[in-house]
Amino acid sequence: MKISLIIPCYNEEESLHPLYEELKNVTGSMPNYDFEMIFVNDGSKDKTLSILKEFAEIDERVTYISFSRNFGKEAAMYAGFCNVSGDFAAVMDADMQHPPSLIPEMVKILETGEYDSVAARRTTRTGESKIRSFFSRTFYKIMGKISDANMMQGATDFRLMRREMVDAIVAMSESSRFSKGIFGWVGFKTYWLPYENVERVAGTTKWSFWKLFKYSTDGIMSFSTTPLKIATWLGILFVLGALGFIGYAAVCAIMYEYFSFIGLHFTIGLILLLSGVQLLCLGIVGEYISKMYKEVKNRPHYIVAQTNKKDIVRR
Ligand code: UDP
Ligand code: MG
């Protein structure tokens, strides 16, 4: 039985040593399994790559895949999935916020044969700002309502899964990737393993608020077409409103011979409102078209500059 661990790293020079020590302990406590650690260096600007090379030198289980620039965590995870050779594979963050000590338990659950994947779920959000928690919770609520990629509140990217599920994920080759949605979309039976949130061991978060906001709208657009329907609903609403106004104006004109009840300010307001709504709808349509444009170009997901793996899969 072989287990592959996929670890995306972006400027993680400070966390890599503690992580590797912990991984050595955990893998050492599971002598019946073979391990493979796939570190994906996502265009780090610090010493991440040289540290990974060091690991690879002393430990033959270590594979590093180094990108030519920062392609984002999603691309890094995809590169990992494409190059998995184990029967089970897990993705985990480099900062130990996804505790490696959970791996033995996850493996045990998969081995009962009842589940295809074990996903870690945070029950707390300690160390995270209130605003970020609020937006994050709201995002999951909206997503749950408008898409069919069944997502769990507090779900993380930390998952152990069977090879079959990995192959399904690799087959989803879309370029706007949103893993939490993809994991849900491919189906399979998932066991949710609750754990307490831990703060990152060193360094700082690689996600700014803006990057997260973009990521979440990407997620919504990739797994739901509900925003497109907003245009239709607003259109219907405004047509009904307009008909009401016309009717009212007609009645006023006939019964009271009173024509100028709509003042200038009101007219300007109405024009601004309607053009705003039109622009909004056009923007939503544009977002989807830009997504299609990106898919159609069919560019590679990532470009590998250096690696110690022989026949590496590039996609
Ligand atoms: N990461 C990456 N590319 C990026 C941003 C992040 O590979 O462009 C990696 C990062 O090195 C870490 C994981 O993704 O292993 C999660 O990032 P981080 O801990 O900064 O996110 P947070 O836990 O704050 O959500
Ligand atoms: Mg983190």
Q: What is the CATH number of the domain that holds 55?
A: 3.90.550.10
Nearest Cα neighbor of 40 from 87, 89, 2, 91 is: 91
194 in the same domain as 132: yes
Average pLDDT, the chain: 86
Nearest Cα neighbor of 12 from 89, 122, 96, 126 is: 96
Cβ of 133 below 6 Å from ligand 1: no
Name the one residue in this structure whose structure tokens are 């991440």: 48
Residues pairing with 306 in the sheet: 66
270 in the same domain as 193: no
Cβ of 200 below 6 Å from ligand 1: yes
286 in the same domain as 195: no
Q: Which residue has the least CA distance to atom 22 on ligand 1?
A: 205
Task: Note whether residue 183 is domain-resident.
Answer: yes
Cβ of 80 below 6 Å from ligand 1: no
Q: Residue 234: its pLDDT value, please?
A: 84
107 in the same domain as 251: no
182 in the same domain as 36: yes
Ligand 1 atom with the shortest distance to the CA of 205: 20
Q: Residue 233: its pLDDT value, please?
A: 86
166 in the same domain as 30: yes
Cα 282 to middle of ligand 1, angstroms: 33
Cα 217 to middle of ligand 2, angstroms: 20
Q: Which residue has the least CA distance to atom 3 on ligand 1?
A: 73
Task: Note whether residue 52 is domain-resident.
Answer: yes
Domains of the chain: total = 2
Name the one residue in this structure whose structure tokens are 């000590």: 101
Report d(CA 108, CA 118) in Å as an integer: 10
Burial of 192 (0-12, 13-18, 19+ CB in 10 A): middle
Task: Note whether residue 219 is domain-resident.
Answer: no
Cβ of 72 below 6 Å from ligand 1: yes
Cβ of 136 below 6 Å from ligand 1: no
Find out whether 1 and 32 touch, Cβ atoms under 8 Å.
Answer: yes
Task: Note whether residue 161 is domain-resident.
Answer: yes
62 in the same domain as 35: yes
Q: Residue 180: its pLDDT value, please?
A: 84
Domain that holds residue 194: 2-208+300-307
Nearest Cα neighbor of 66 from 56, 76, 57 is: 76
Weakly modelled stretches of the chain, pLDDT under 50? none
Q: Residue 84: its pLDDT value, please?
A: 94
Task: Note whether residue 213 is domain-resident.
Answer: no
Cβ of 75 below 6 Å from ligand 1: no
Task: Note whether residue 73 is domain-resident.
Answer: yes
Q: Which residue has the least CA distance to atom 19 on ligand 1?
A: 205
What pTM, to 2 d.p., does this model score?
0.80
Task: Note whether residue 33 is domain-resident.
Answer: yes
130 in the same domain as 10: yes
**One-letter amino acid identity for 22?**
E
Cβ of 132 below 6 Å from ligand 1: no
184 in the same domain as 109: yes
Task: Note whether residue 215 is domain-resident.
Answer: no
80 in the same domain as 156: yes
Q: Residue 260: its pLDDT value, please?
A: 60
Q: Residue 278: its pLDDT value, please?
A: 86
234 in the same domain as 191: no
100 in the same domain as 10: yes
